[in-house]
Copies of this chain bind each other. A is one copy, B any other.
Amino acid sequence: MTLPVVLVSHQPPDPIRDAFRGVLAGAADVVFLPELSDASRNDVLRTARAVMTYHPIRDLGVNALRKLENCGLMQCLTAGIDYLPFGDLPDHIAVAYNAGAYAEPMAEHVAAMALSASKRLAGEHRLMRQGEFNQFVPTKRIAGMTCGILGYGETGREVARIMRALGMNIQAINRSGKTDEQVDFIGTLDDVDHVLAASDVVVITLALTSATERLLEAAQLKEMKPDAILINVARGEIVDEDDLYAHLIAHPDFTACLEAWWVEPIRHGRFETAHPFLDLPNVIASPHNSAMTDGALITAAERGAENVLRFLNGETPRFIAGDDVRMA
């Protein structure tokens, strides 16, 4: 019996190859596009049942994409796929995103930022260098406080698990406004103002879509507590850059923890901010590295491959991109 072909659009390092082949063992032949001979390339493109990829256009090109006649699933390996030019992708291929692929390391990163901000770690270190030793200026205890999670999907729920373990109450926003999990409030995007007003820590784990772009502008930031902590590990564009900067200047007790940026290397070829966020004492910045712990890429690869396996087994793959996540 010939196994179906799963085409990987790039040449990953060995542990990732092993992860793909391990999950799909006995169910598919995993082949890597850059390793194909010119002779076999067209055949593989024509017969491939699924593609696993970070960048379908860049890696395959529009011509190769057109040859994917038998392909039923384009499994992206990133959690967010707002950067995909859906208009250039063949209509007959379902596109799946790798939701929650990096949920655990991202949730730890969120906890690191929330705690670092509440204990003023960076700020007090800086003041100690200037000769201050503020032993008796209270910091915040996050246990008992409220964490609002905008985007209660795979990653948001893992954030909730950790924040709950730290003693925080959870208020959350998702598409359905429903959850089986233990939360203090669950609502939809219509309830954002309520969650913003109630939360001491607000975490953005939303997908970037036309509905979430610039969800937080001046009016929404104004709803938040003046000493709240805003953590964005999703996409810069969900928060208005100018409005956030103005808010940080006007509210020195407000902290922004920025892991996702408006202009950053992977999506834009460079890192750039419209304002000097990095110089503000009430900003904690990280270079969109929350997903990047040792082993995280392997876990993400396995999760992507498991979704391909569902598809090959005739089950419905998870996290198919609907019109609402297709921005372009």
Residues 106-130 of chain A, each 1 if its beta carbon lies under 8 Å from chain B, else 0:
0011011101101101101101110
Nearest-CB distance from A52 to chain B (Å)?
19
- Once the chains are docked, how many angstroms separate the CA of A134 from the CA of B109? 15
Contact residues, A95-147 vs B (CB, 8 A): 104-105, 108-109, 111-113, 115-116, 118-119, 121-122, 124-125, 127-129, 132-143
Q: Is A93 an interface residue (CB 8 A)?
A: no
**Structural contact, A279 and B129, CB atoms closer than 8 A:** yes
The 8 Å CB contact of A289, one of B116, B135, B294, is B135
Q: Does A266 contact B (CB under 8 A)?
A: yes
Map CB proximity to B onto A274-307 as digits: 1 under 8 Å, 0 otherwise. 0000110000111111101111100000000000
**Are A121 and B128 within 8 A (Cβ)?**
no
A166 within 8 A of B: yes
Give the shortest distance, in Å, between A125 (CB) and chain B (any CB): 5
Cβ contact of A278, chosen from B125, B136, B140, B286, cutoff 8 A: B125
A152 to chain B, nearest CB (A): 20
Chain B residue contacts of A1, Cβ below 8 A? none
Tell me which residues across on chain B come within 8 A of A289, comparing CB atoms: 124, 134-137, 139
Query: With the chains together, A270 CA to B118 CA distance in Å?
Result: 26
Q: Are A287 and B109 in contact (CB under 8 A)?
A: no
A136, B286: Cβ atoms under 8 Å?
no
Interchain CB contact under 8 A, A119 and B109:
yes
Q: Which residues of B contact A143 (CB under 8 A)?
A: 104, 108
**A162 close to chain B: CB less than 8 A:** yes
Interface residues in A, total, Cβ within 8 A = 51
**Nearest chain B residue, comparing its CB with the CB of A286:** B124
A250 contacts chain B at the CB level, 8 A cutoff: no
* Residue A319, interface by CB 8 Å: no
Contact A125 B284 (CB under 8 A): yes
A271: Cβ under 8 A from any B Cβ: yes
Chain B residue with the shortest CB-CB distance to A290: B119
From residue 202 to 238 of chain A, which have CB atoms closer than 8 A to chain B? Answer: none
Give the residues in chain B near A134, CB-CB below 8 Å. Answer: 287, 289
| Nearest opposing residue in chain B for A111, CB measure | B115
Q: Please state if B124 and A295 are interface contacts (CB–CB under 8 Å).
A: no
User: Which of chain B's residues have a CB closer than 8 A to the CB of A296?
Assistant: 138, 141
Chain B, Cβ-Cβ closest to A119:
B112
Question: Would you call A165 an interface residue if the criterion is a C-beta within 8 Å of the partner chain's C-beta atoms?
Answer: yes
| B125 lies within 8 A of A285 (CB) | yes
Known: A115-B116, A125-B122, A165-B166. A141 touches B287 (CB 8 A): no
Q: A133-B287, A141-B295 are in contact. List 14 more A-B contacts (CB 8 A).
A: A105-B141, A108-B118, A128-B278, A128-B287, A133-B264, A134-B289, A135-B264, A135-B287, A135-B288, A136-B292, A137-B289, A141-B294, A162-B166, A165-B166
Closest 8 CB pairs between A and B?
A: A112-B115, A165-B165, A141-B293, A112-B119, A133-B287, A133-B271, A125-B285, A116-B116
